[in-house]
Amino acid sequence: MRVNFKIWRQESHQEEGSFKDYSVDNITSDMSLLEALDYLNETLVLKDEKVVAFDYDCREGICGQCGIFVNGRAHGPHDNTTTCQVHMRSFEDGQTIVLEPWRARAFPIVKDLIVDRSALDRIIQKNGYITVKTGGAGEANSILVAKKDADKAMDAAACIGCGACIATCKNSSASLFTAAKINHLDHLPQGKLETNERVMAMVSQMELENFGSCSFTGACEIECPQSISITEIARMNNLFLKAKLTKE
Amino acid sequence: MLINRKYIMAITGLFLCIFLIVHLSANFLLLLPNNLAKEAYNTYSHLLRNNPLISAVSILLYLAIIFHSVMALIITLDNKKAKPQKYFMNYAQQNSSWNSRNMGLLGLMILIFIIVHMANFWAKVKLGYGPELPIDSKGQIDIYSVVVTTLKNPFITLFYTILSIPLAMHLHHGVQSAAKTLGLYHKRYLKYVALIATFYSCVMGLGFGLIPLYIYFFSQG
């Protein structure tokens, strides 16, 4: 099949970017979108042109490294997938595919389709962990965790930090990401002890990083590759309110 | 703080939701037969005007409207700053509802409505603007006649009826969003909240939208 890519090209954060059109032949429907981009890049190399920069790592939908706004949707036309799991069979022969980087003030563009998501790392660095000294692996049964709590913790911990929630949110809010990180630890006895400090610190950092507010449009949970529920945000708001009211 | 602002939006919003229930309940008096409606409505508003508790609550009401609007403006401006560049192509309708994405626009329409509405009635009764108000047989201000005369103007009635649509849309998302903002996260209860929000927004939209039409066609001052 033949597709027309319309791709955002930008040398660096400081420089202006613009769309560039590329027609690519010999695309097969079982190629992944990223493989089609690899193929495009090969042709660009042969023509001595600059390749399109895009992020990826595992290409198995589990690492959270890839992320492109494909034809008006974060991670492409399907709900709850990563960009690497989008295949060319999702598009039609001759279709134009628009590729844009995640757009958010907190995600400066590094190059082309690659954005700097280190704001998310800095949120985790603010108490997004437990402060006990771990040492060697402890006896697994010394702290009992109910199955339902372990499941809830896992549901939140599934967040791979891809940034699709922020990309799709009209306010570029990082609420779903931050809530997932807070709740995942709060469901476990080791994490619960420090929930108050954690929720205050992580929410403050989220604000410092210039993310917007949550309007509960629900777009984030539709685009999240891990199907993290928007109720996680409501739970973060609950914990934040409790932390504020019981602050000493 | 991002979340603090949303708490203020949620609390003032829910307070205004309660006010709307009281307001619509009173408006149902207008649906009584003409003479009964006149007496009931005038007596009701006379009682409200002379009750110090109501005066205190009305100040809270004005403050709630102001805080809700100003805070909305601040939040919207900051949210716009957080996404300085829009997408060239964005199929937002595939992942979220139109009203959830346009609460600011819907809110602005409601604010315009409130200003017109207050100019129509509040300014005349409370501030004494316009011609002298009629007095009924009991010596009370004949608000009923003011309401009917105002709504006999087809443009005003149409304005009131049409603006009940953005009101219903704003309430439908607002009630659910406020519950989540204030920390209600249990999925079962959120389902109940969604049902309540749908019922509530329909009743408010239909009530505030149809009563002016009823008055336009059937009432006599």
When pLDDT is averaged across residues A71-88 and rounded to a whole number, the result is 97
* ipTM (interface predicted TM): 0.93
The pLDDT score that the predictor gives to residue B108 is: 98
With beta carbons under 8 A apart, name residues in chain A contacting B10: none
Q: Does B75 reach chain A within 8 Å, measured CB to CB?
A: yes
The fraction of chain A above a pLDDT of 90, given in percent, is: 94
In total, chain B counts a number of residues equal to 221
How would residue B132 be classed by pLDDT, with cut points 50, 70 and 90? confident
The reported pLDDT for the residue numbered B198 is 98
Alpha helix (H) residue ranges in B83-186: 98-101, 103-117, 123-125, 143-151, 154-181
Instruction: Summarize pLDDT for B19-68 with one digit per residue, the tens.
Output: 999 999 999 999 999 999 999 999 999 999 999 999 999 999 999 999 99
- Residue that wins the pLDDT comparison between A124 and B2: A124
Q: What is the pLDDT of residue A45?
A: 98
Task: Tell if the CB–CB gap between B183 and A222 is shorter than 8 Å.
Answer: no
The enclosing H or E element of A109 equals strand A109-111
C-beta atoms surrounding A147 within 10 Å: 7
Q: Which amino acid is at A235?
A: R
CB A21 within 8 Å of CB A5: yes
With 0-12 / 13-18 / 19 or more C-beta atoms within 10 angstroms meaning exposed / middle / buried, residue A111 is buried
| pLDDT (0 to 100) of residue B221 | 67
Rounded CA gap, B37 and B199, in Å?
27
- Whether the predicted pLDDT of A101 surpasses 70: yes
B84 CB within 8 Å of a chain A CB? yes
Q: What would the mean pLDDT of A102-108 be, rounded to a whole number? A: 97
Q: Is A23 on the interface with B (CB under 8 A)?
A: no
Range of weakest confidence among A23-27, A99-103, A131-135, B163-167: A131-135
Average pLDDT over residues A3-19: 97
Q: Which residues of A touch B84 (CB under 8 A)?
A: 105
pLDDT for residue B130: 84
Tens digits of per-residue pLDDT, A15-71? 999 999 999 999 999 999 999 999 999 999 999 999 999 999 999 999 999 999 999
Looking at residue A14, what is its pLDDT? 95
For chain A, what percent of residues have pLDDT higher than 70? 100
Mean pLDDT of A110-129: 97
The domains of chain A, with CATH numbers, are 3-110 (3.10.20.30), 119-245 (1.10.1060.10)
| pLDDT for residue A77 is more than 80 | yes
List the domains of chain B with CATH numbers. 2-84+102-218 (1.20.1300.10)
What residues does A9 pair with on adjacent strands? A18
A240 close to B (CB below 8 A): yes
Question: How many Cβ atoms are within 10 Å of A77's Cβ, its own excluded?
Answer: 15
Those residues with Cβ within 8 angstroms of residue B8's Cβ, 6 or more apart along the chain or in another chain: B67, B68, B71
Read off the pLDDT of each residue in A120-148 and give the average, rounded to a whole number: 89
Overall average pLDDT of the B180-187 stretch: 97
Kindly state the tokens that stand for B169: 């849309």
| Interchain contact, A217 vs B185, CB within 8 Å | no
Q: Is B183 on the interface with A (CB under 8 A)?
A: yes
Which A positions 144-203 lie with beta carbon below 8 A of chain B?
A: 168-173, 203
The closest of A190, A207, A39 to B79, measured between CA atoms, is A207
Mean pLDDT rounded to a whole number for chain A? 96
The shortest CB-CB distance from A171 to any of B82, B88, B95 is to B82
List pLDDT tens digits, range A157-206: 999 999 999 999 999 999 999 999 999 999 999 899 999 999 999 999 99
